[in-house]
Amino acid sequence: MNAVQGRSVVIVAYRPKPGKEEDLLQLTREHLPLLRTEGLATDREAVVCRAADGTLLEVFEWEAGAIEKAHANPRVMALWERYWACCEVVPLNQLPESSQMFAGFAPVAL
């Protein structure tokens, strides 16, 4: 879990399973709006980008205490189940770009 107290900005890396790239994009379009509707994410503008290997990165801000609440929210859990069907979440250090002083990723328009 996240050790930051209060609101926190997170970076999540979603590596699509073969043939699931479009499904992953659609889920990413739905993700933040759902979190906001449920009162779990702030209105801070999110960033979505792509690593050279096709991994999508999503950067957004959780409301204070929202990470724990999300794990008890049936609507969020249902969306996350769809995520697990089309991707794996990977640590940032698995992306070659993360070893660079200034890691660069391609912007993605949702």
Domain boundaries, the chain: 8-92
Q: What is the pLDDT of residues 6-37, one digit of tens each?
A: 999 999 999 999 999 999 999 999 999 999 99
Radius of gyration (C-alpha) of the chain in whole angstroms:
14
Element (H, E) at 79: helix 74-86
Could you tell me the strand order of the sheet in which 8-16 lies? 87-90, 8-16, 56-62, 47-50, 106-107
Q: What is the pLDDT of residues 45-61, one digit of tens each?
A: 999 999 999 999 999 99
Q: Say which CATH topology domain 8-92 has.
A: Alpha-Beta Plaits (3.30.70)
Closest alpha carbon to 21 in 51, 63, 65, 60: 51
Contact 13, 56 (CB under 8 A): yes
Would you tell me how many other CB atoms lie within 10 Å of the CB of residue 106? 9
> What is the pTM assigned to this prediction?
0.91
